[in-house]
Homo-oligomer: A and B are copies of this chain.
């Protein structure tokens, strides 16, 4: 059955968008639509142009009969900045202020439109890196880790403070929680990470960096490598954090009676001059 170009374009868009970073072969599309590879190649050229022009992502095309296409989602700087500004505005509402200088943000981290943009943003930073697994610790880092894993199209794994029978054998580490100086423990299923894999560490909030440090120790116990650290928000911290270079979307400065939310360091981390060139038309 031969398929019209308009139908092919719609279905290819859907198919590629659901499989970020995965190479889909010309042969596959050619058989799916009963169309010549030359027509599929033309379709991919149109797709590439539109996805770039609309700031949706890059379509990497691998030439030749054995080639294909890979969709790499990204978010342009302006859209990212507008998104973060919107989040700052929401979080600055007075009724979010909680006793002890905390900010209520669980609602935002349960909203699909917010999580999608957080995922796109962090995935933009790692669009050319090999990431094998996203690692977070229960509970509040999970939604962010999941969204990033969705856009990078790699699995995510969850370390836990309480090890559960359903995790099988686990590896656990002790770490000093930066904010309270207490010794805490986190465990990760032995089946979670493979040696030499590249792991992106993700959490919702980082203050002293103790929890992120715990995750770094876990990664080391598995003989894997930390490929990066990304947090939704960082709190103000006096002193030096024992964490590698990290990316934050927001900075939260809380005092006893109010909270200042500003943009994190994402712009300088993600929108490097070379990446900006790549995104431009």
Do residues A7 and B50 form an inter-chain contact, with CB atoms below 8 A? yes
Do residues A115 and B47 form an inter-chain contact, with CB atoms below 8 A? no
Do residues A14 and B56 form an inter-chain contact, with CB atoms below 8 A? yes
Residues of B close to A50: CB separation below 8 A:
6-7, 10-11
Do residues B160 and A139 form an inter-chain contact, with CB atoms below 8 A? yes
Output the nearest chain B residue to A140 by Cβ-Cβ distance.
Answer: B166
Within 8 Å of chain B (Cβ to Cβ): is A104?
yes
Our pick among B54, B112, B192 for the contact of A14 (Cβ within 8 Å) is B54
Residues of B close to A191: CB separation below 8 A:
104, 106-107
Output the nearest chain B residue to A42 by Cβ-Cβ distance.
Answer: B6
Do residues B14 and A110 form an inter-chain contact, with CB atoms below 8 A? no
Do residues B155 and A112 form an inter-chain contact, with CB atoms below 8 A? yes
Do residues A104 and B7 form an inter-chain contact, with CB atoms below 8 A? no
Chain A stretch 93-108: residues in CB contact (< 8 A) with chain B:
98-100, 102-107
Q: A104-B191, A110-B149, A111-B155 are contacts. A46–B6 as well, Cβ < 8 Å?
A: yes
Give the shortest distance, in Å, between A246 (CB) and chain B (any CB): 20
Within 8 Å of chain B (Cβ to Cβ): is A186?
no
Tell me the complex Cα distance, A49–B10, Å. 10
Within 8 Å of chain B (Cβ to Cβ): is A79?
no
**What string of 1s and 0s marks CB contacts (under 8 Å) between A134-170 and chain B?**
0000111011001101100111111010000111100
* Oligomeric state, in copies: 2
Residues of B close to A224: CB separation below 8 A:
none
Do residues B140 and A139 form an inter-chain contact, with CB atoms below 8 A? no
Tell me the complex Cα distance, A102–B164, Å. 11
Our pick among B5, B9, B10, B112 for the contact of A153 (Cβ within 8 Å) is B112
Our pick among B51, B99, B116, B167 for the contact of A104 (Cβ within 8 Å) is B167
Within 8 Å of chain B (Cβ to Cβ): is A127?
no
**What string of 1s and 0s marks CB contacts (under 8 Å) between A179-205 and chain B?**
000000000010110000000000000
Residues of B close to A98: CB separation below 8 A:
165-166, 168
Within 8 Å of chain B (Cβ to Cβ): is A31?
no
Give the shortest distance, in Å, between A161 (CB) and chain B (any CB): 9
Q: Could you write out 29 A-B pairs with CB less than 8 Å apart?
A: A6-B6, A6-B46, A7-B53, A9-B9, A10-B51, A11-B50, A13-B17, A14-B17, A17-B17, A98-B166, A99-B165, A103-B166, A106-B157, A106-B166, A106-B167, A106-B189, A107-B155, A112-B149, A112-B153, A112-B154, A112-B155, A115-B150, A138-B138, A138-B139, A139-B139, A139-B142, A139-B160, A140-B166, A143-B146
